[in-house]
Amino acid sequence: MLKAAAAGGGGAAAAGGGGGGGGGGGAGGGAEDKAAPEVEEYDLGYMMAPLSRQRLELVLAKIIYKYPDELEELMEESRKAVDVGAIKTELNALFSDKDLSFNEAFPQLEHHIKLAKDYALAKDSRNATSILKLVTKAFVSNVVNRSLIPSEDSEERGDFDEFVVMLETAWQDVINKADQKSTRCEDLTEW
């Protein structure tokens, strides 16, 4: 659960500052405000759950407009490497079930492909590539090698074909967005 704390009492500080023009009483009010600001916690997961990506982007744009110094914090956060170990663990856990059908694996694989495409759109080929490599390896070693490919006439075949196209276009997006002069592009073509 994501939580954020905001200093409450902002109104009290403003009120204390306004009353401080009269003399010594204002100085005491200011010291109280600095000593113990009231903290209010917000459950960000709950607050952001109903918001679409577009709406979240709008909210972030408004915050950055109001607090331009926070843009650097956002940029630093966006440049962090994805937790490859966590994704690998998640995919290993998914495919640890020997009775798993492709239909059962599809939503999780699709989630990671969409995440990789989001990184590619943000021109973060490093994170996009890391995710796609993990998903591709998991797909080949667990779906192809374990013969989880649905037969042509099965209901699952639609999801399978959709996933193959999705994986292919995700790789194409990453390759197209990668700087052709960078070593990352050379790594992609070698891989």
Higher-scoring residue by pLDDT: 45, 84:
84
| pLDDT at res. 157 | 85
Closest CA to 135 of 92, 78, 169: 92
| pLDDT at res. 49 | 83
pTM of this structure? 0.61
CA distance 179 to 184: 8
Closest CA to 4 of 63, 69, 86: 63
User: Residue 26 is which amino acid?
Assistant: G
Closest CA to 124 of 61, 75, 54, 163: 75
Decide if pLDDT at 78 tops 50: yes
Mean pLDDT score, 163-180? 85
User: Cβ(121)–Cβ(168) under 8 Å?
Assistant: no
| pLDDT at res. 53 | 82
Mean of the per-residue pLDDT values of the chain: 76
| pLDDT at res. 184 | 53
Of the listed ranges 12-21, 40-49, 146-155, the one predicted with least confidence: 12-21
- Residue 153, CA distances (Å) to 3, 52, 149, 160 in order: 48, 37, 12, 12
Under the banding of pLDDT at 50, 70 and 90, the label for residue 18 is very low
